[in-house]
């Protein structure tokens, strides 16, 4: 599994951390922990795996429901604000 190599670390509002260029060799989903090739351990609450590349939208493939407000595309750091707000709204709706 390849994630991001630690070249640069940025902390953004809303508790989001961006760790670039790290090669992840192990993911323990139960413990919410990732381990890098350098044996560095990363704990997380929510995990987003961003593979980079050109954005491909579901609508490009004729997928029904591709225009849903529950589908997000993460291309730029500013896109995280919409995702965070949706997560907060979803959390408030749960009993």
Beta pairing class for 41-43 and 33-36 = antiparallel
- pLDDT surpassing 90 at residue 39: yes
Lowest mean pLDDT among 5-9, 44-48, 56-60, 84-88: 5-9
The pLDDT of residue 10 is 54
Residues 23-32: pLDDT tens digits? 888 888 889 9
Give me the long-range contacts of 45-50 (CB less than 8 A, separation at least 24).
45/15, 46/87, 48/74, 48/83, 49/3, 50/4, 50/74
Model pTM? 0.44
- Nearest-10 Cα torsion for 34, 40, 46, 49: -70
What share of the chain has pLDDT > 70, as a percent? 77
């Amino acid at each position: 599994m390849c994630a991001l190599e630690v070249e640069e670390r940025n902390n953004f509002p809303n508790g989001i951390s961006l760790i670039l260029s790290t090669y992840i060799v192990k993911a323990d989903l139960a413990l919410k922990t990732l381990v890098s090739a350098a044996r560095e351990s990363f704990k997380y609450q929510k995990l987003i795996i961003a593979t980079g590349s050109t954005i491909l939208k579901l609508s490009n493939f004729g997928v029904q429901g591709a225009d849903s407000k529950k589908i997000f595309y993460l291309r730029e750091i500013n896109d995280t604000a919409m995702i965070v707000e949706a997560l907060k709204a979803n959390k408030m709706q749960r009993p």
